[in-house]
Amino acid sequence: MEVLRKLLFPISLGYALVVYIRNFLYDVGFFKSKIFEIPTICIGNLSVGGTGKTPMAEFLISLLMDDYKVALLSRGYRRDSKGFVLASNQSTVGDLGDEPYQIFSKFPKIAVAVDADRRNGIKRLQAKVRPDLILLDDAFQHRKVSYGLSLLLTAYDTLYVNDWYLPTGNLRDSKREAKRADLIMVTKCPANLNRADQKRIIQKLNPVPHQQVLFSCLAYGSEVAGDTNEISLDFFRDKQLTLVTGIANPEPLVVYLKEAGLTFDHLLFKDHHSFTKNELRQLRTKELLLTTEKDYVRLKGKVGNLYYLPIEHRFLGKGRKVLEACLEDFMRSNS
């Protein structure tokens, strides 16, 4: 696979040129970015995935929902529906896509909508919901909207400064566009990442003066959830366990489970995978299935003995306080 990606390098040069021209036309004003009066917070990255955007969106929702009427707008990748869809109790994962459906299931009191057209989605949310602010999931590269606050995520082991354009690398936007972010969040760090290593990464990212760089690690739950009550992760030791993942980078989860003393078979699928009838039939033959929360919402009700491991971002050092202060200042300036 890596050899093939290198052979596709000429295509990546063409892709890079298209990205450069597009951003240049926005920068000089030939293409216009629409500014909305309602506060908008963009959560995104420069790569095709694997930075933890959904857990970060959930983290922000948990911080903001008690004080503000929050709405979340996503594209709804690989959903079956078209156009604008506002989540309701009758919505399915096919209507919304796996990640928006996961968020709505966890936070049913907030408005969750999907629309590939961010401008239209914001307008429809304003008309139907009248929220205090809108979180825009995976929207950093969508420049048709000028966002009030932009959070750029990059994974510790795949920093965007070390990456290259698709299809040779994983970048879908230019590294130079990182300057548009207000906060750069280095996610999936080792929990013991020291200050010297953090400083080294900051120097490599070379943020512009107005940017702050925060660091977070993934925190997995000690208990798993599923169709039955929550049970301890230790329950799975010495059992015939199958791990099922359809996410961009399952490696941190695999490492965590091995360090927890679990042995398992790993069925690896691509990100946002739609499970076929044959694959579901195969999964039904397994004694115990452990998966991610995103995969769980796509598999729930289709296979039995299914569990997922909750996950959240945990900031290192004073990162959480810095983020909370930034959100407070942003909302105060837009009140």
Q: Quote the pTM value.
A: 0.93
CA separation for the pair 289, 292 (Å, rounded): 10
CA separation for the pair 215, 205 (Å, rounded): 13
Domains and CATH numbers, the chain: 2-68+132-219+314-333 (3.40.50), 222-309 (3.40.50)
Q: What are the helix (H) ranges across the chain? A: 2-7, 9-27, 53-64, 93-96, 98-106, 118-128, 195-205, 251-259, 277-283, 293-299, 319-333
Query: How confident is the model at residue 129, as a pLDDT?
Result: 97
Q: Say whether 221 counts as a known binding-site residue.
A: no
Q: Say whether 94 counts as a known binding-site residue.
A: no
Residue 266 tokens read as 């790993």
Helix, strand, coil percent values for the chain (each to nearest 5): 40, 25, 40
Query: How confident is the model at residue 49, as a pLDDT?
Result: 82
Query: How confident is the model at residue 35, as a pLDDT?
Result: 95
Query: How confident is the model at residue 298, as a pLDDT?
Result: 92
Question: Closest Cα to residue 56, out of 319, 291, 232?
Answer: 319
Q: Say whether 51 counts as a known binding-site residue.
A: yes
Rg (CA), the chain: 20
Q: Say whether 54 counts as a known binding-site residue.
A: yes
Query: How confident is the model at residue 8, as a pLDDT?
Result: 87
Q: Say whether 49 counts as a known binding-site residue.
A: yes
Query: How confident is the model at residue 230, as a pLDDT?
Result: 82
Query: How confident is the model at residue 135, as a pLDDT?
Result: 98
> pLDDT (tens digit, 9 = 90+) per residue, 77-95?
989 999 999 999 999 999 9
Q: Say whether 261 counts as a known binding-site residue.
A: no
Question: Closest Cα to residue 138, out of 186, 168, 173?
Answer: 173
Query: How confident is the model at residue 1, as a pLDDT?
Result: 63
Q: Say whether 76 counts as a known binding-site residue.
A: no
Mean pLDDT by 10 residues, the chain (335 residues): 79 96 97 96 93 95 97 94 97 95 96 97 98 96 95 96 95 96 96 96 96 95 82 90 92 91 94 92 95 93 92 95 97 91
